[in-house]
A and B are shown apart, each in its own frame.
Chain A
């Protein structure tokens, strides 16, 4: 078998693909965090819990209502987004005038509640979610076996990230959003309903998390703890990339996923911490983050 640096090609590309998939989730989640933080000035600790909820909603739709994967891919983010809108209206909207550490504490409490409720109902062992039949099987490439579903996850996440970028950078709606991020008071003076914007932005950000959750459901088992594990890594991703740029978040997310995959091949012991180590290095060299604007 062909080897690179003493590592079988098959293993190398397999881990790189897995890294790319983790990277897709980092990218979508950090993108949502960045959009929410940009406008609401709140770092959404509940993001991981809502990602987990997306996976659970997909599972429930399938098992209780017989709704298949493709419908769930559209419905679950809508449900999670609607849930997010309720959270924003009922809870988060009361904190806008306060220091943002309260936003962090509030969303942390929300994450504990959501995770606790799912853990109570479904335990921690994880529930299986089958790969949709259209995407089972895979392609035999010259250097590796490529499962169709994994290829789909990467393509779908890239498409969603690109679509989000297009909406924010190239549409009228996006220009309002960017303006409101820079100076909400002035935008409101021009007659834009900023509070509505805040609500919708939060809903959209968490819908992205829900979408990532549905994508993740067939790969990892659907588990109440899946969000808590990933959110801290995503925080590190956000510190590395800086939240100032959308493309920056996406590139950082995918890049770090790949690096994590490579670490799994060459030095598996460090694979859980490599992103944190990179965060430390970035803080030493460029404290504002790779794509951050100010220190």
Chain B
């Protein structure tokens, strides 16, 4: 009885219909990207670099998540698995194997890609709400694995991960040097995601998101597209998690916990699902909020819950979604 209802309402896409994208929109997006790049170049001289790096790592994580939710229409509730496992592997590679940071990050990212391939292949066997529950359950499995496995250090996590020297030559001990690396990784991720969204592959994804039965009837192998976007999203989430492990020199259970999966959903929701730049704004808002509210302890969870409820009830388009509607430009 449940499944029939689920299929009947697939047509009602959760995300606003795509606005027309002309040449001027592309030009606008290019300007925004340029603006972000300039901001990133200037920011460390004004703001605290570690805070900025945190925002960038979570921004990339949210961008990766939004690729799956906003453009694939798939709500994964277990993205902490890719973020956290990548973070563990990267930390382990850097600390125990003594790899240079770029290789350690690569290690973590590949782990996330592999995990995304396995979990994604399982999860896309069901649709809608079941998909979310399966991703959550699989992520919980990854959590218990991290809790019990020897190499993750259990409750302690992997601490004192060396930042090392990029390509064995450029030391990352200085916050500004490390910031440069994180900013480049972030911009690279943003450009890649932008490219994916605006490729023919991305167009088919949006078609599947908006009307899956129709995409099937047009002859697209829907499951291959879903799996591909799932793996891409998991890989980029892993890139964010690995970078985070190098920045904070720590990989811990927090990164694989379901609360982290919830947090990335919240960032995307606040910034605007299905917008290009929304997740970045969402990550900035949530990380700032958590930094300033950290002194209130458990209230952070309650405030997160309240933001969730308010966003879902009153503010579904998110900050960037709202701006885009007023400006009548897809952002």
Residues of A with Cβ closer than 8 Å to B?
34, 37-38, 41, 43, 91, 94-95, 98-102, 104-106, 108-117, 119-120, 178, 181-182, 228, 232-233, 235-236, 238-239, 242-244, 269, 272-273, 276-277, 279-280, 283-284, 287-288, 292-295
Q: Report the nearest A residue to B13, measured CB to CB.
A: A99
Cβ of B302 < 8 Å from any Cβ of A?
yes
Which residue of the partner chain, among B138, B262, B316, contacts A276 with CB atoms under 8 Å?
Answer: B138
Cβ of B44 < 8 Å from any Cβ of A?
no
Give the dominant DSSP class at B's interface: helix
State whether B122 touches A91 (Cβ < 8 A): no
Residues of B with Cβ closer than 8 Å to A?
1-7, 9, 12-14, 75, 77, 122, 125-126, 128-130, 132-134, 136-138, 140-141, 144-145, 147-148, 258, 262, 265, 269, 298-299, 301-302, 304-309, 311-313, 316
Which residue of the partner chain, among A112, A236, A284, contacts B137 with CB atoms under 8 Å?
Answer: A236
With both chains docked as a complex, state the minimum distance between the C-beta of B13 and any C-beta of chain A, in angstroms. 7
With both chains docked as a complex, state the minimum distance between the C-beta of A292 and any C-beta of chain B, in angstroms. 7
Q: Report the nearest B residue to A271, measured CB to CB.
A: B144
State whether A100 touches B6 (Cβ < 8 A): yes
Which residue of the partner chain, among A95, A283, A292, contacts B3 with CB atoms under 8 Å?
Answer: A292
With both chains docked as a complex, state the minimum distance between the C-beta of A121 and any C-beta of chain B, in angstroms. 10
List the 7 closest pairs (A to B, CB-CB), nearest first: A109-B308, A112-B305, A113-B305, A116-B302, A99-B14, A116-B301, A236-B137
State whether B14 touches A120 (Cβ < 8 A): no
Complex CA gap A99/B141 in Å reads 28
State whether A294 touches B3 (Cβ < 8 A): yes
State whether B133 touches A100 (Cβ < 8 A): no
Give the dominant DSSP class at A's interface: helix
Complex CA gap A235/B134 in Å reads 8
Complex CA gap A91/B269 in Å reads 17
Q: Give me 23 A-to-B residue pairs in the complex whose CB atoms sit less than 8 angstroms apart, sorted by A's number.
A: A98-B12, A100-B129, A101-B14, A102-B312, A104-B129, A106-B312, A111-B305, A112-B262, A113-B302, A116-B305, A181-B1, A228-B258, A236-B133, A236-B140, A244-B3, A273-B144, A279-B137, A280-B138, A283-B134, A287-B125, A287-B126, A293-B3, A294-B4
A105 surroundings in chain B (CB, below 8 A):
265, 269, 308, 311-312
State whether B137 touches A276 (Cβ < 8 A): yes
